[in-house]
Structure 1
Amino acid sequence: MRASDARALGLVLGVALDALFGDPRRGHPVAAFGRTASRLERGFYADSRARGVLFTGLLVGGAGALGVGVERAARRPVARVGVTALATWAVLGGTSLGREGRVMASYLEAGDLDAARGRLSHLCARDPAGLDADALARATVESVAENTSDAAIAPLVWGAVAGVPGLLAYRAANTLDAMVGYRSPRYANFGWASARFDDVVNWVPARLTGLLTVAVAPRSDAWRVLRRDGASHPSPNAGRCEAAFAGALGVRLGGTNAYGGRVEHRPELGDGRAPQVPDIRRAVRLSAAVTVSAAAVCAAWAWKGR
C-alpha cells in the first residue's frame, strides 16, 4: 500500500469514526492542547505582536512536529492508516457541530428560550441576552455555516495535503484563534498572529466549503449569492460559507450582532426571508452533506497525491 493510499483511507475512516462517535468524551486531545496553550500563555503573554508570533509558532510548529514524529513511527501501512484515522477523528468536529445545532433546534421548538440562550455559547461568542427565537435561529444557522469549514472541511483539506502533521497543525492554529484571536484590549497585539494565521490556513477550505455547498444544493441560489455576497462579510473566509448557505437555504443572513457589549452591523447575505427555527435542522443536514462531499474530494486528492 502506497503512503497516499494509507492517507486517503485513514481520512475516510476518521470521518466514519467522527460520524459514529463524535468527539471523544474524555481525554480529548484538543482540550489537552488548549490547557497546554493556556499554561504557556500565562508565562509568555506580553502586549506585543512579536511575542504573539513566537507563541503561535511554538504551538503550531510543535503540533506539526508531533505529527511528523507520529507518522515516522508508523512505518507499516496499516499503522499509517490507523494513526491517520485517529488523528482525523481527534481534530474533526462536524458531528459535534451538528449535535449542537440539533440541541438548539430542540430547545427552540419546545419554546425554551432560556435554555437556548444558555446553550448558544457552545456555538459562538454572540451575546444571547434579549435574542428571540428567530434571532437565536439566525445565530445558529450562521454558526453552523461558518463552522462547517472550521470543524470539518479545513481539517480534511490539510489532512489530504500534509497527513497527520497537517491535521494536528491545523487544529492547533484554529484552537489558538478561538483562544487569543479576539479583537480585545488584551489580545489586539498578542493574538494578532494567531488570528491572521487562522485566516491564511482557512482561505482555501472556506472557498471549497462554498463550492461544495453549491454542488450539493444545485437547484438553489447558492452560486449566485456566493458570488455576489461572499466578499461582503468582515471575515475573509466566513462570508463564503455563510453566503453559500444563505443561498442554498433560501434565507437572509447577517445583520446586527452583539459581542460582550460590542455591537457589529454586518452586511446581509442572501435575498430570502429571515431564518426561522426549522431552518436550523435544514442547515445541519446541509452541513453534513457538505462534509461527506469534502471527505470524498479530499480522499481522492490524497490518493492521487503521491
Structure 2
Amino acid sequence: MTFAIILAIALCLDAVMGEPRGLWSRLPHPAVLMGKAVSAFDRTLNVGAHRRMKGVFAIATLACAAALTGWALQSLGPIITLLGAAILLAQRSLVDHVQDVATGLRQSDQAGRDAVAMIVSRDVSDSTPSATARSAIESLSENFSDGVIAPAFWFLVAGLPGIVVYKMVNTADSTVGYLTPRHAEFGWASARLDDLLNWIPARLTALLIALVGRAAHHQRAIRADAGLHRSPNAGWPEAAMAYAMSIALAGPRSYHGEVSDLAWVNGNGRRDLTPRDIDAAIAIVWKAWGLTVVAALGLGGLIWAF
C-alpha cells in the first residue's frame, strides 16, 4: 500500500475510534511520552547560560529520536504503520472536545466556560457565551491544522518518521515554545521549527475550509487577515473559517491576567455567536476532513496507476 492509501484508511480509523479510553488508561499515549521527553530536556538543559543553543540541541535530539522511532515502527510493516498514523491523528478527539463546549453552553454559561477551558490557554473565567463559542471555533480551526492536516501532510511526505517528527516538534512547541521569560531562549528553536513544519499545512487547511465553506472567492481577504494573527500559520485556518461562516474571530482576549488587544479576523462579520455556530463550524471541519480523505485516495490511485 502507498502512504496515501494508508493515510486515507488511518483518517477513517481515527474518525471512528478516536482515543479509546480503555487503551490509554492502561498504556501511556505517545503524545504523553513525547511531553515527558520534552519536559526532561527542559528540566536538565534550560538552566544557566547559552539556553538558545541548548534548546537547538534539545529539539534536534528529540527530532532525531522521533525519526528513528518512526523508521523502526514502519519497518514492522503496513499494519503497524497504519495504526501509528491513526493514533497520531486527532480528528475525532478534536471534534468531541469542541462539541463538549456547545453541549456545555446549552446547559449553562459556566458549563460552557469549563468545557472551553480544557482546550484553550486564554483566561475564560469571565467569558460571555458568545466569547466562549468564539474561542471554541478558533481552537477547532487552528487544531484542525495542527492535529489533522499537518500530521497527514508529513505522513504523505515521509511516512511514519515524518508524522512522528512533526508530533514531537509540535509537542515541544506546546511545552516550551511560549514566549515566557523561562522559555524565550530555550524554546526558540522548537517554536521556529514548528512554524516551518506548519507553513504549508496551515495554508492547505485554509484552502480546504474555504473550498467546503464556499469562501474561496474571499482568498485575498483570507490572506490579508491571516497576516494580522500573531502566529505566521494559525491565522490561515482561522481566517478561512471566519469568512466561510461570515463571523468575526480573534479580537481582544486575556492571557495570564493581561488583556491582549488582538486584531479581529473578518471584523465586519457577525460577533454574537451561539452553540449553533459551533455546530456549523464542526460540520465544515468534517467536510474538509472528507475532502482530505478523497484527495488521499485519489493520490493513492494515481500512484498505483503509474
Deviation string 1:171-200 (CA, Å, 9 cap, x unpaired) is 111111111111111111111111111100
Alignment: residue pair count: 295
Structure 2 CA distance for aligned equivalents of residues 221 and 247 of structure 1: 10
Query: Which residue in the other structure is 1:281 paired with?
Result: 279
Is structure 2 residue 218 aligned with structure 1 residue 213? no
Query: Which residue in the other structure is 1:147 paired with?
Result: 143
Please point out which of 44, 61, 68 is paired with 2:64: 61
**1:150 Cα shift?**
0.3
**Residue 30 of structure 1 contacts residue 90 of structure 1 at CA under 8 Å; is this kept in 2?**
no
Is structure 2 residue 195 aligned with structure 1 residue 199? yes
Instruction: Tell me which amino acid in the other structure corresponds to 2:35.
Output: G
**1:245 Cα shift?**
0.3
**Root-mean-square deviation over aligned CA pairs:** 1.9
Query: Which residue in the other structure is 2:89 paired with?
Result: 92
**Residue 251 of structure 2 contacts residue 263 of structure 2 at CA under 8 Å; is this kept in 1?**
yes
Please point out which of 106, 118, 124 is paired with 1:122: 118
Structure 2 CA distance for aligned equivalents of residues 220 and 50 of structure 1: 42
Using CA pairs below 8 Å that are at least 6 residues apart, which structure has the higher relative contact order? 1
Structure 2 CA distance for aligned equivalents of residues 303 and 187 of structure 1: 45
SS in 1 for 2:251: strand
**1:282 Cα shift?**
0.9
**Residue 34 of structure 2 contacts residue 168 of structure 2 at CA under 8 Å; is this kept in 1?**
yes
**1:227 Cα shift?**
3.0
What runs of 5+ residues in structure 1 fail to find an aligned partner? none
What runs of 5+ residues in structure 2 fail to find an aligned partner? none
Structure 1 CA distance for aligned equivalents of residues 272 and 240 of structure 2: 14
Is structure 2 residue 133 aligned with structure 1 residue 165? no
**Residue 215 of structure 2 contacts residue 240 of structure 2 at CA under 8 Å; is this kept in 1?**
no
Structure 2 CA distance for aligned equivalents of residues 203 and 285 of structure 1: 25
Residue 157 to residue 220, structure 1, CA distance change in 2 (3 Å): closer
Query: Which residue in the other structure is 1:187 paired with?
Result: 183
Structure 1 CA distance for aligned equivalents of residues 300 and 192 of structure 2: 27
**1:220 Cα shift?**
7.1
Q: Percent identity?
A: 34
**1:285 Cα shift?**
1.3
Is structure 2 residue 137 aligned with structure 1 residue 134? no
Structure 1 CA distance for aligned equivalents of residues 20 and 183 of structure 2: 30
Equivalent runs, 1:61-80 vs 2, <5 Å = 61-71=64-74, 73-74=75-76, 79-80=77-78
**1:217 Cα shift?**
1.8
Task: Tell which deviates more after alignment, 203-212 or 57-66.
Answer: 57-66
Structure 1 CA distance for aligned equivalents of residues 217 and 256 of structure 2: 34
Name the TM-score, length of structure 2 as normaliser. Answer: 0.90
Residue 222 to residue 298, structure 1, CA distance change in 2 (3 Å): farther
Structure 2 CA distance for aligned equivalents of residues 209 and 184 of structure 1: 28
Query: Which residue in the other structure is 2:37 paired with?
Result: 36
Query: Which residue in the other structure is 2:6 paired with?
Result: 10
**1:45 Cα shift?**
2.0
Instruction: Tell me which amino acid in the other structure corresponds to 1:8.
Output: A
SS in 2 for 1:70: helix
Please point out which of 61, 77, 80 is paired with 1:83: 80
Please point out which of 34, 52, 55 is paired with 1:52: 55
Instruction: Tell me which amino acid in the other structure corresponds to 1:35.
Output: K
Structure 2 CA distance for aligned equivalents of residues 219 and 43 of structure 1: 48
SS in 2 for 1:263: strand
State the 4+ residue runs in structure 1 displaced beyond 6 angstroms: none
SS in 1 for 2:253: strand
Instruction: Tell me which amino acid in the other structure corresponds to 1:169.
Output: V
**Residue 249 of structure 1 contacts residue 283 of structure 1 at CA under 8 Å; is this kept in 2?**
yes
**Residue 173 of structure 2 contacts residue 190 of structure 2 at CA under 8 Å; is this kept in 1?**
yes
Query: Which residue in the other structure is 1:294 paired with?
Result: 292
SS in 1 for 2:184: helix
Residue 193 to residue 299, structure 1, CA distance change in 2 (3 Å): farther
